Amino acid sequence: MEITRNSRLKDVIKTASGHDIIARLLYSLGMDLDAVRRTPLGLLKIGSLKRLSFGKLSDASVDALIEILNSLKDEDPGEDGTVRHEWWKEAVFYQVYPRSFRDSNADGVGDIPGIIEKLDYIKSLGVDAIWCSPFYDSPNADNGYDIRDYRKIMAEFGTLDDVRRLIDECHARGIRLIIDLVMNHTSDEHEWFRKALAGDEGYMDYYIWKDEPNNWTSFFSGPAWKYFPQTGRYALHLFADKQMDLNWDNPQVRREMYDIADFWLDLGADGFRLDVVSFISKADGLPDGDPTVGKLISFTGIEHYFHGPHLDEYLREFNREVLEPHGAYTVGECPGNGIRMSRMITGDDRGELSQLFSFDHIDNPGKKRFDVYDLDLRKMMPELLRWQTEYSDHCWPTIFFDNHDNPRMCSKIDHAGRYHDQINKLLATILLTMKGTPYIYQGSEIGMTDYPFTDLSQYRDIESLNYFDEQTGKGMTQKEAMQRLLYGSRDHARIPMQWDGTSAAGFSDAEPWIGVNPDHVTVNVADEYFDPDSVLNFYRYMIGLRKDHKKALIYGSFRRIDAGKDVLAFIREANERFTVVVNLTGGTAKRPKGISGDRIISNYSDPGSMLRPYEAEVYFSRI
Ligand code: TEU
Ligand code: CA
């Protein structure tokens, strides 16, 4: 379908790219796609988006948008109602951020032997697999997401033998290990880049160069291009200026990446979390982005690489050459891809990736991570629920609320901290009863919260530090910039794991590389381990429930019960029925009528007549 200014929105959203991009634009403007689907808005022509955007989109932006929509592919994996059974559909994953998990040798930095020390704890949660954030040799411009040598381990973290041992010790406990592979970019200290700078033409072509930069901006502030006097040209870096984007159009680069992946699978890794893998293919000629469209999606230029022209082709090649022969699992980090384009990446018969992470639910419509606001769970639901009902039987969602790139969800919802206990249990309830593969980020299972940062010197993350400089440079007051960091910094997720109530929270015997949250005196593994009412034991119960009732809770149907806007209620059903009821607000709400079965768990002990703030409960019945 050729899209023109006269195409109606309801028709544009029938294509995968039209659906996802319009959804994303509306989301940024504070609206949900359902508005276009269910109201006369759908009859509007795409040319009138300018009006809908309150003037944010100019005529030129609308034309740019139409061009992008026409340039993106539209293929559908189809749907025939059969769900294939796979280990990773039945698994609960646990994400470990090595720098902050456990320091075994008292240098203040977490390490691989530290993870091994805590494997029995991870096992005790009932999880089946671990995703470990990068542990490769790196100068740490971005905590290891800037890799200097893909076959070496960061000295602070240990040795290759430690990683071998980690793999073996995981397997000995029946836990699978997936590792975090960064294939979109390398460190500027990687030998390929150093050879490129030294004038080696072959290695120059491993990276992306331009004589004059285009207008793309970096995720970590400023332009996405850095000038190198050695070559007289600019090199592309979508992230830090020490993270150089690789040229995936060069077959040799792809070969190198496949060899690296082979190396790790041969060593015993069970698969990969693939860092920003959806960004590997950039539009031919690296054209300027439309600043408005880019910013509404996220950053200027992103429309030219978030699902680039060769993405599907390269992923298929990677799959054929490496993943398939090893039977390896993959979860791709795919920011910007909405549900329909994600189906193109994860459909059973597409031969690309097993699963992916999408991010829209992590912030409310119209909000961005650094915005100062309390997240409203009611506004999260339309996006979250779409993945339950519209992703098709040939795709399998991931579900998560926390990771190493976001403040803690319980804090995002309730900065004042009145209801953290209830909210953490509520999130666990949703995470472990919805359809899809749950990912638990270290510390969520004990209810860790954001760090009370008060001074710039307490931050470590390059994104936060660059953001502060850029915003204050543009005239924002220091006070406001600090406030925005407090709401959005990734460092909140990177403070040490809280093992006990001692001074460094049992993370280390030395001064940790980043502050320890004062709340560790009450929020910690040791205190929660034997407390039946703890967040930790709530998680354990929910994980166990999911595993004991696979038919219903993993492969069973998902059906919503209409319960008004303040309450989420749904049924998971196969041979048994689970009914989940959740008050999405901090006020009281009415329990929907006709709920049957035994109330088997809740974040309040006795059932009240009304649902109390953030109350979550699960009912069980045989059918
Ligand atoms: O993150 C990429 C990325 O775009 C995220 O910051 C994303 O925008 C965010 O999670 C949405 O809330 C990956 C890694 O996870 C991150 O730690 C790295 O810094 C980045 O790639 C560069 O490698
Ligand atoms: Ca250490």
Determine the distance separating the centroid of ligand 2 and the alpha carbon of 103, expressed in angstroms. 4
> Each residue of 368-390: pLDDT tens digit?
999 999 999 999 999 999 999 99
Tell me: pLDDT of 590 over 90: yes
Q: Which ligand is nearest to the CA of 156?
A: 2
Confidence (pLDDT) at 55? 82
Banded model confidence at residue 267, pLDDT cuts 50, 70, 90: very high
Candidates 24, 181, 219: which one to mutate for ligand 1, based on the most atoms within 8 Å of Cβ? 219
Confidence (pLDDT) at 374? 98
Residues 11/44, Cβ–Cβ less than 8 Å: no
Q: Is 345 exposed, middle or buried (0-12, 13-18, 19+ CB in 10 A)?
A: buried
Give me the mean pLDDT over the 484-494 stretch: 98
> Each residue of 500-514: pLDDT tens digit?
999 999 999 999 999
Tell me: pLDDT of 56 over 90: no
Ligand 1 atom closest to Cα of residue 142: 19
Tell me: pLDDT of 432 over 90: yes
Nearest CA owner, ligand 1 atom 8: 335
Confidence (pLDDT) at 37? 83
Question: Which amino acid type is present at position 7?
Answer: S
> Each residue of 77-96: pLDDT tens digit?
878 888 999 999 999 999 99
Give me the mean pLDDT over the 418-428 stretch: 98
Residue with tokens 């409310």: 364
Beta strands 129-132; 225-228: pairing state? unpaired
Determine the distance separating the centroid of ligand 2 and the alpha carbon of 492, expressed in angstroms. 20
Ligand 1 atom closest to Cα of residue 362: 12
Nearest CA owner, ligand 1 atom 14: 275
Tell me: pLDDT of 454 over 80: yes
Query: What's the CA gap between 28 and 604, in Å, rounded?
Result: 35
> Each residue of 229-254: pLDDT tens digit?
999 999 999 999 999 999 999 999 99
Confidence (pLDDT) at 607? 87
Q: How far, CA to CA in Å, does 218 sit from each of 191, 239, 244?
A: 23, 5, 11
Within 6 A (CB) of ligand 1 lie 142, 145, 182, 219, 239, 275-276, 333, 335, 359, 362, 369, 404-406
> Each residue of 332-354: pLDDT tens digit?
999 989 999 999 999 999 999 99
Residues 97/154, Cβ–Cβ less than 8 Å: no
Give me the mean pLDDT over the 518-530 stretch: 98
Tell me: pLDDT of 623 over 80: yes
Confidence (pLDDT) at 35? 80
Structure tokens at 507: 């993370």
Give me the mean pLDDT over the 385-409 stretch: 96
Query: What's the CA gap between 282 and 55, in Å, rounded?
Result: 29
Ligand 1 atom closest to Cα of residue 146: 23
Determine the distance separating the centroid of ligand 1 and the alpha carbon of 220, expressed in angstroms. 10
Nearest CA owner, ligand 1 atom 17: 405
Fill in the DSSP letter of residue 322. Answer: I
Q: Looking at the chain, how many residues does it have?
A: 623
Tell me: pLDDT of 125 over 90: yes
Give me the mean pLDDT over the 593-607 stretch: 94
Banded model confidence at residue 53, pLDDT cuts 50, 70, 90: confident
Banded model confidence at residue 542, pLDDT cuts 50, 70, 90: very high
Which of the pair, 607 or 154, is modelled with greater confidence?
A: 154
Residues 426/603, Cβ–Cβ less than 8 Å: yes
Confidence (pLDDT) at 41? 84
Banded model confidence at residue 73, pLDDT cuts 50, 70, 90: confident
Banded model confidence at residue 39, pLDDT cuts 50, 70, 90: confident
SS percent in the chain: helix, strand, coil, step 5: 40, 15, 45
Confidence (pLDDT) at 337? 93
Query: What's the CA gap between 590 and 583, in Å, rounded?
Result: 8
Determine the distance separating the centroid of ligand 2 and the alpha carbon of 332, expressed in angstroms. 29
